[in-house]
């Protein structure tokens, strides 16, 4: 039981540590409004289940051992982020006060942002086994359970962060020029994330 609480504490800390997912989420809250940001948070959280499944069934090892597989996923993630940055910049030029829309788009953005980052795959492969008891009868099932806990924690914390960032958005909503600037800063931030992922080493 102590090990489980240690795991939950670790997950809470890891979820709150600033990283590409958190930066992306806050940017969504500042530029897209509450609903899309919350659904982005749920999409990011759902990505946890995808990575857990890969790690539990050993599929993640492919990305650990194969440079081609790792780089292919990495390139796909970078291309997607560049696309999101471009669309955010376009939105800034023709900004209209349309908040809390495109929930499906937000969820999809969150899922893709998470699953197209190969480093997240390697993280789960390294992190989850550390909390599997040596006497576990079914390691695969235990890792899936740990992944569900990770996703549950993320589904609680990330929407809260999304709502807070969206509330900041509301403060500036009446100033169209300022919102255009915020959208452009958001686009630049997402593009910077793409560069960070593109040039970051595997290890």
Show pLDDT as tens, one digit a residue, over the chain (203 residues): 678 888 899 899 888 877 788 888 988 888 788 888 999 999 999 988 888 888 888 766 776 678 887 788 778 878 877 887 887 777 655 555 454 456 788 898 899 888 888 778 888 888 888 888 877 788 888 888 999 999 999 999 999 999 998 887 777 665 667 667 767 777 788 788 778 767 776 65
Residues 131 and 146: beta-carbon distance below 8 Å:
yes
Q: Give 29-42 pLDDT, tens digit per residue.
A: 887 888 889 999 99
CA distances 75 to 69, 120, 121, Å, are: 10, 14, 15
Q: What are the start-end ranges of the H helices in the chain?
A: 2-16, 20-32, 34-56, 60-65, 67-93, 103-115, 118-127, 139-171, 176-199
pTM of the predicted model as reported, rounded to 2 decimal places: 0.74
Whole-angstrom Cα distance, residue 122 to residue 189?
A: 24
Domain residue ranges in the chain = 19-199
Whole-angstrom Cα distance, residue 82 to residue 188?
A: 10
């Amino acid at each position: 039981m102590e090990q489980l609480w240690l795991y939950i504490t670790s997950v809470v800390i890891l979820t709150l540590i600033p990283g590409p997912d958190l930066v992306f989420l806050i940017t969504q809250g500042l530029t897209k409004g509450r609903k899309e940001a919350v659904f982005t948070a749920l999409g990011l959280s759902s990505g946890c289940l995808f990575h857990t499944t890969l790690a539990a069934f050993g599929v993640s090892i492919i990305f650990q051992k194969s440079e081609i597989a790792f780089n292919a996923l990495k390139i796909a993630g970078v291309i997607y982020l560049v696309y999101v940055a471009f669309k955010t910049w376009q939105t800034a030029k023709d900004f209209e006060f349309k908040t809390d829309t495109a929930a499906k788009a937000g969820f999809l953005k969150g899922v893709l942002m998470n699953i197209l980052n190969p480093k997240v795959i390697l993280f789960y492969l390294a992190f989850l086994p550390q909390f599997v008891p040596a006497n576990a009868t079914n390691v695969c099932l235990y890792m899936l359970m740990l992944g569900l806990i990770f996703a549950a924690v993320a589904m609680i914390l990330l929407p809260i962060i999304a709502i807070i960032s969206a509330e900041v958005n509301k403060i500036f909503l009446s100033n169209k020029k300022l919102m255009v600037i915020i959208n452009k800063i958001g686009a630049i931030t997402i593009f910077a994330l793409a560069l960070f992922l593109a040039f970051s080493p595997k290890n």
